[in-house]
Amino acid sequence: METTAIILHADLDAFYASVEQLLDPTLRGKPIAVGGAVVLAASYEARAFGVRGGMPGRKARELCPQLIFVGGNFSHYQRLGDAAIKVLDDFTPVVERISIDEAFADVAGCTHLFGSPREIATTIRGRVRAELGLPISIGVARTKHLAKIASQVAKPDGLVVVEPGTELAFLHDLPVSLMWGVGPATRARLAEIGVETIGELARTHSGALARLLGPAAGEKLAALSWNRDPRKLETKRRAHSAGAQSALGQKPAVARVIVPTLLHLADRVASRLRAKNRPGRTVTVRVRFADLSAVTRSITLEQPISATAMLAEIAGDLVRGVLAEHPCEKTISLLAISVSHLEESAELQLDLPLGLADEKRRPGSQKGLARFGADRAIDKIRQRFGKQAVGYGTVALEAARSVPDAFRELAEKEL
């Protein structure tokens, strides 16, 4: 581990909402939300009323009657996000971008040119504000995990530098919800055993964490709670998985909701796999219920797949299995699909026509090849005429309207 704090985590504040307020000055200082049926992003003024991303628009309006909804200027999001990351590039070549609006930067090799990490971070913030008109928060620390936490503490529009020798004192008083990998479900489980701060997590016996969260997750969070994070920045990282999710608000857990949603998600994921010729073997689904508890299930296949219909059907089986295991859950709030164990230009093993029950889900079967061929034809039509030119059924398109595809694409990693 470095002996000085040289890792920066830069995060544009309330990015989508901030861009809207930049483009329309009359919105500045007002509670706004990007979206409609679902809140895609909320300004800090809206967050003060409890409005959050992923929340149904109706509930957001109940919390904040004066809330202003805007449709979203997606081309400007991409342009301004790229421009902000370019400012980091001007100081160091060691930049790891992790989303459209946030990135890590290692400034160890450029302090002799631009000053201390604190001075570099201050200059970056000033340039982003002056050149782009956007607020940006930066955390500086010795590790990626602590730098990211520091940037969250710095919000809105601030700078926090965590110097060696002060790290655990800074970290241990903070809530566990700030940790990477601690979502609502994990936070609720930790609260059940009286763990609400990172310091309390650090002092919890490893065996108790393993029983509560599983061995891998328990060991990882325990290490992070002591600021043990050996990860280096990855400037040319390729994604190990492709995924998509759909926030549903509060919908009944029935086929007329689940089937079209999974088909739309499978379309988004599989088309990306085909575009990069990277089929995957492991299919994972996530089902979140009304109380925000979530269940994940996965299956690893004999052959990698990238066909939309195959992926949708396999995901459907997994989701039905989850619901069968939780018969009391009648409402779902989110569905997600991801494909991992991606392969590079995998060779397809052809199947003999044996009349197997799952033949249409086998990539090398006659039916599997026909499905893949249909997908390729759809891909070519979309490349020429746009994504809305052809789809996999009107029900799938209806299921997607609450969140624009342009917004989803901004969040999806390059394979």
101: Cβ contacts below 8 Å, ≥ 6 apart:
11, 12, 15, 81, 84
Active site residue 102: yes
Q: Which H helix or E strand runs over 269?
A: helix 255-275
Task: Indicate which residue of 45, 96, 102, 167 is catalytic.
Answer: 102
Determine contact, residues 391/379, Cβ cutoff 8 Å: no
- What pairing do the DSSP bridges indicate for beta strands 280-289 and 294-305? antiparallel
254: Cβ contacts below 8 Å, ≥ 6 apart:
none
Q: Hey, how many other C-beta atoms are within 10 angstroms of the C-beta on 366?
A: 13
279: Cβ contacts below 8 Å, ≥ 6 apart:
273, 304, 305, 306, 339, 342, 343, 346, 363
351: Cβ contacts below 8 Å, ≥ 6 apart:
359, 362, 364, 365, 368
395: Cβ contacts below 8 Å, ≥ 6 apart:
259, 260, 263
- What pairing do the DSSP bridges indicate for beta strands 136-141 and 159-161? parallel
Structure tokens at 223: 């290490």
Active site residues: 102
